[in-house]
Amino acid sequence: MRSVAMDAADADRSDFTARARVRDAAVELFGRSGFNVSVRTIADAAGVSPGLILHHFGSKQGLREACDDYVLQRIREYKERAVRPASANELLLAMASVDESAPLVGYALQSLQAGGDLARSFIDHFAADAEEWIAEGVKAGTILPSLDEKARARYLTVQGFGALLLDLTLNPPEDPSDIAGAMRGYLARMGLPSTELFTQGLLADRSMLDAYLLYVVDPPQP
Amino acid sequence: MRSVAMDAADADRSDFTARARVRDAAVELFGRSGFNVSVRTIADAAGVSPGLILHHFGSKQGLREACDDYVLQRIREYKERAVRPASANELLLAMASVDESAPLVGYALQSLQAGGDLARSFIDHFAADAEEWIAEGVKAGTILPSLDEKARARYLTVQGFGALLLDLTLNPPEDPSDIAGAMRGYLARMGLPSTELFTQGLLADRSMLDAYLLYVVDPPQP
DNA sequence: ATCGCAACTGAACGCATGTTCAATATGCTA
DNA sequence: TAGCATATTGAACATGCGTTCAGTTGCGAT
């Protein structure tokens, strides 16, 4: 039996309980092929009968929720363990480059595409981090201040993950488990234009921004 | 029987053939609920038996391909009919605001999320338009030039659609058929930070861009 | 040693799906 | 009007799914 000291919500990473094996197989398969993989497929991958999955997790939905919790917790751990705060892309690429944590990235991306609570927590978390990180940059003088720091942090987060997600959807890797390679391809395609946009912007003058600010103050009646 | 003058690929918009009714119902349901809606559901919506759908389209996949062609063609028409060239967001919002064309937008967005050929054509098309539109802006002096105009156009397109897609996934509208409302919500949330980013950029100096350019010329060995 | 409880199996069930097919209705053509 | 091709139906089939459950194994406490 499982030690009473670690309950189901614990990060029993290095154990080989059937329950943990199922959870790991589910994270990997959900992350690689989406949430339509069958319970039987997961059971096969974990070397276990289908019935056992529902014995441990109640239902397929229960399994998904357990995976959600596990992935979110492990990513939080990973983020806190990083000595220096990093951008979301850097962190994900670092995680995707390590065999042990790569499936977590795949799962998180699939989750973002599917929506739901984990996706929201995920974005909230990264947006909060971005806000902090940006605030430090502004204080240090390396980042320009914004009229709405919170909105900017969220926008940059959604925009960054959205672009990554769509790019991976349009250019699916031949090997679906090589998320690091796929991410590197994305960064190679988008690195220059994004850095350029962040450095110089796009528009030559402030007229559009000023017009938008006027529009916000006095919107046209719909 | 269908007039011999318009074959299956034609834009027989205003006819009420069972085939056209099925196609319209499929576009609407696929766009609203994704591509897992059942053939039977579509048949019900079109007031038709399930068998007829496969008689006309061969398979569910055939129906999807017919919808893909139809939607892409209608969006192209819409774009050409617009007097002035517009940004992708403007065009989509305009289409989403008209009852007749709103389902097309929903379908296109679902298609982008699912990947596949239509998604690629769609992005290619909009990226090419963006490149043209940006080139005019550069010539007119309203847009700053880029080191790689093609890559920038593609980046801005992927980034824009990706952000929209992810935002709609995270904030699904109560009424899934009100795409225009959902888009307006998105623009309200992201309008200021995106305009600000496009106007002033994010970074206070060129150091990161210069570092990236050096990195591209002489990448570290992997 | 044995009792008891949890882990675990695998066959079975019910359901929804995409698809097939024989039968019928319909409308154009000769 | 007769005939034929096409449109259309709806029942049936095969498959894969999530889930249930009666039964078996294995282990820790008494």
Domain boundaries defined on chain A:
18-217
pLDDT (0 to 100) of residue A52 = 98
pLDDT tens column, A87-131: 888 899 999 999 999 999 999 999 999 999 999 999 999 999 999
Which nucleotide's C1' atom has the smallest distance to the CA of B17? D7
Query: Distance, angstroms, CA A38 to C1' D15?
Result: 14
Query: Distance, angstroms, CA A40 to C1' C11?
Result: 14
B86 pLDDT band, cuts 50/70/90, is confident
Which nucleotide's C1' atom has the smallest distance to the CA of B60? C18
pLDDT (0 to 100) of residue B16 = 82
Residue A156 in tokens? 């940059």
Are the C-beta atoms of A71 and A101 separated by less than 8 Å? no
Report helix, strand or coil for A44: helix
CB atoms within 10 A of CB A205: 11
Chain A residue with minimum CA distance to B164:
A162
Are the C-beta atoms of A199 and B206 separated by less than 8 Å? yes
Average pLDDT (B55-84) is 94
Q: Which fold has domain B18-217?
A: Tetracycline Repressor; domain 2 (1.10.357)
C-alpha count within 13 angstroms, C-beta hemisphere, residue A75: 27
Phi-psi region of A84 (alpha: psi -120 to 50; beta: other; left: phi over 0): beta
Nearest Cα to Cα of residue A151 among B160, B23, B73, B195 = B195
Checking if the pLDDT of A1 tops 80, the result is no
Are the C-beta atoms of B189 and A153 separated by less than 8 Å? no
A143, A155, A172 ranked by CB distance to B194: nearest = A155
Average pLDDT (B105-122) is 96
